[in-house]
Structure 1
Amino acid sequence: MNDLVENNNKKDSYLTKSIAIFPGLVTAFVVAVISKISAIWLPTLGAATIAILLGILLGNTFLKQPVLEKGTKIAEGKLLEFSVVLLGATVTFQTIAQIGIFGALFVLLQMSITIVASYLLGKKMQFSDNMSLLMAGGNAVCGSSAIASIAPAIHAKEEEKGQIITLVNLLGTILMLLLPIIGSLIYGSDILTKSALIGGILQSVGQVVASASMVNGQVVELAMLFKIMRIMMLVVVVYWFGRFKQQKSESSATIETTPKQKKSALPWYVVGFVLFCIFNSLVHLPTQFSATAHFFSGWFEITALAAIGLRLDFQKFFKEGKRFLIYGLSVGVIQVFLAIVLISLLRI
């Protein structure tokens, strides 16, 4: 009898959660459909870009409703992750080889110098160690996901984490719109260099996809490879940030007792992307399977981007103050300048 009651309670709980998710999920999908249709008349922008811009517009005006939050959060997180996994079914080792050794070196140098510059600038502007490290990792690796992984390793407070996530998302949104223009002005029709610029700088996977979509599908594919390489370095970054903070604590006069450091695994969608890519390279998946994967990946991606736009609250950005905005924009300028210099030196 108790088991029956427990099962019923579980069913009610699942039903309640599903109902709570439904409004936001459906809203994001409707925005995605509108964006797909709009892209027929606005092919230069593309559905992905329209989705995130329309989401930002609606999310800060008519659709600024708490009831949508749970659903848009699921759409932003899970759908984009599934999209990345399915993208692996359309990529092979031959595609990755286009990046080359110099492409991999570009990613490592871009990440390393971004981390050092962001941290030193943060300290110069009198931000705390934690906030400077979160800013460095969030911009160098993968935005909010990196910040969430680094925070427990350096014992950052929730308030510090929230402020930096807001700042990194603002910077990513600005760069998302600017990088395709900068890339076209400097590199013209060169696909690989524009892919390196976008995939090597932008903070989140969604921003990379949306920005690259403003150029073309090939740039989306290659920019994602640069981005995946950065995400794969997340474990290393979290480990070294934790060690760095620990050494600083040990060398200081007051050593606080802190909770045990959490382990950070590689994001599951990166593992899924790599496995699909390996399988597709060795076995060569049927064309129909790859086409189906590409279709669902595209829809997941656009729905997720619509959700990202709907969740982007501009009021939060302005609450953080002028010093935060100057810090964010300065890091963005450093990243863009650095990427242009490295691409030139390495002749990507």
Structure 2
Amino acid sequence: MENALLKKYTPLLPGLGLSVSVAVLAKIVAIFLPDLGGATLAILFGIVLGNTFFKQEVLAVGTKFSESVLLEYSVVLLGFTVTFQTISHLGFNGLGYIIAMMATVIISTILIGKRLGFSDNMSTMMAGGNAVCGSSAIGAIAPSIGAKDDEKGQVITLVNLLGTVMMLTLPFLGTMLYGKDLLANSALLGGTLQSVGQVVAGASLINPETVSYAMLFKITRIIFLVVVVFVFQQRAQKQGTAQVQHLKKVSVPWYVIAFLSVCILNSCVKLPQFFNDGAHQIGTWFETIALAAIGLRLDFKKFMKEGLSFLTYGLLVGIVQTLAALVLIHLFRIG
């Protein structure tokens, strides 16, 4: 048993140790640069170090663990800082904004894909990945429309590249347009960025409170994953464009359910202050380590390897997605 555990967890140590070290460094430097904060510095340090000194393959397993698993746990612990009163700030306008955003992104992405000559499967996966939750949505959509593995891999790469660019630019656009408006900035990031990690990273460039509210918008999108997969499968079957596999059971990710459960508990039961404070501190460290790992795994060379048509597709979708968010935030009077 002991040997099995060592065999399982030893490969994690180099990348996990590096992610923790970068997070600690970021926290220390943040003492002298409080305006930037530990989370922002963690991802910036990670990007610099990951593209210069730490490109070794042995680090990949541990940084992937830090990026995904620790981030999921940080989302769960975020529930201890959120109550029904917090969620009520989103209101029906927030829900309407998310539905309108998802519909706009799906329709426009498919139309742009057709215009540029991409297959219907690739356009559909691109639409779902940008509208819902990046790679997770693409992984759920691909079997339901009969997409090939190479198509899925190409779209995942493109969506992640686009999400990275938007993660690094939208926070600055938001603060330039909305100043310190919490809900508007949160809606911009939580309603557009592709993965949970990108939402957390992008919102961290503004402030911790924006992370909490941006995640509410993001989780609302994730909850609609089952609906989006079902609609895409029905569309593929009607078009008869592929051998569509039977729809697998698509469920909301475990950490979303756990987040909502903790939120309900926190709303219904007055928990001891030390419990909430402890959850916040641990969650903040998990988040900082995860952001360091995201930075370490961000490979700028991938931007140069993709073809011009792929980059054009991503750029156009990103522009439409951003403009749609700005228009809908105004129409739904968010902020």
Report whether the alignment pairs 1:283 with 2:274. Answer: no
Q: Once superposed, what is the RMSD of the aligned Cα atoms?
A: 1.5
Residue 53 of structure 1: CA displacement?
2.2
Residue 321 of structure 1: CA displacement?
1.0
Residue 290 of structure 1: CA displacement?
0.9
Cα displacement string for residues 282-331 of structure 1 (whole angstroms, at most 9, x for unaligned residues): 11222111111111111111111111122222222321211111111111
Which position in structure 2 is the counterpart of 1:322?
308
Residue 155 of structure 1: CA displacement?
2.3
Report whether the alignment pairs 1:166 with 2:157. Answer: yes
Which position in structure 2 is the counterpart of 1:182?
173
% identity of equivalent residues: 57
- What code does the residue aligned with 1:326 have? T
Partner Cα separation in structure 2 for residue 221 and residue 76 of structure 1: 18
Which position in structure 1 is the counterpart of 2:133?
142
Partner Cα separation in structure 2 for residue 132 and residue 44 of structure 1: 40
- What code does the residue aligned with 2:81 have? T
Which position in structure 1 is the counterpart of 2:34?
43
Cα displacement string for residues 72-103 of structure 1 (whole angstroms, at most 9, x for unaligned residues): 11111110100101111111000001111101
Residue 164 of structure 1: CA displacement?
1.5
- The answer on whether the counterparts of 2:144 and 2:245 sit within 8 Å (CA) in structure 1 is no
Which position in structure 2 is the counterpart of 1:269?
255
- Which stretches in structure 1 are left out of the alignment for 5+ residues? 1-9
Partner Cα separation in structure 1 for residue 239 and residue 54 of structure 2: 45
Partner Cα separation in structure 2 for residue 60 and residue 159 of structure 1: 26
Which position in structure 1 is the counterpart of 2:13?
22
- What code does the residue aligned with 2:137 have? A
Cα displacement string for residues 173-203 of structure 1 (whole angstroms, at most 9, x for unaligned residues): 2111211221122112221111111111111
Partner Cα separation in structure 2 for residue 23 and residue 270 of structure 1: 29
Worse overlay, 43-52 or 173-182: 43-52
Which position in structure 2 is the counterpart of 1:332?
318
Secondary structure at the counterpart of residue 225 of structure 1: helix
Which position in structure 1 is the counterpart of 2:68?
77
Report whether the alignment pairs 1:101 with 2:87. Answer: no
Report whether the alignment pairs 1:225 with 2:216. Answer: yes
Residue 66 of structure 1: CA displacement?
0.8
Partner Cα separation in structure 2 for residue 161 and residue 317 of structure 1: 18
- What code does the residue aligned with 1:313 have? D
Match of 1:116 among 94, 107, 115: 107
TM-score by length of 1: 0.92
Partner Cα separation in structure 2 for residue 317 and residue 157 of structure 1: 23
- The answer on whether the counterparts of 1:163 and 1:320 sit within 8 Å (CA) in structure 2 is no
Secondary structure at the counterpart of residue 12 of structure 1: helix
Residue 11 of structure 1: CA displacement?
4.2
Which position in structure 2 is the counterpart of 1:12?
3
Which position in structure 1 is the counterpart of 2:294?
308
Which position in structure 2 is the counterpart of 1:61?
52
- The answer on whether the counterparts of 2:145 and 2:245 sit within 8 Å (CA) in structure 1 is no
Rg larger in structure: 1
Partner Cα separation in structure 2 for residue 144 and residue 39 of structure 1: 32
Secondary structure at the counterpart of residue 201 of structure 1: coil
TM-score by length of 2: 0.95
Residue 259 of structure 1: CA displacement?
4.0
Partner Cα separation in structure 1 for residue 26 and residue 161 of structure 2: 22
Correspondence list, 1:288-299, <5 A: 288-299=274-285
Partner Cα separation in structure 2 for residue 160 and residue 320 of structure 1: 14
- What code does the residue aligned with 2:233 have? G
Which position in structure 2 is the counterpart of 1:5?
none
Partner Cα separation in structure 2 for residue 27 and residue 287 of structure 1: 32
Partner Cα separation in structure 2 for residue 168 and residue 216 of structure 1: 25
- What code does the residue aligned with 2:217 have? F
Partner Cα separation in structure 1 for residue 185 and residue 14 of structure 2: 37
**Across the two proteins, how many residue pairs are aligned to each other?**
334
Residues 106 and 73 of structure 1: CA distance in aligned 2, closer, same or farther (over 3 Å): same
Residue 163 of structure 1: CA displacement?
1.6
Worse overlay, 131-140 or 144-153: 144-153
- What code does the residue aligned with 2:190 have? G
Partner Cα separation in structure 2 for residue 42 and residue 116 of structure 1: 43
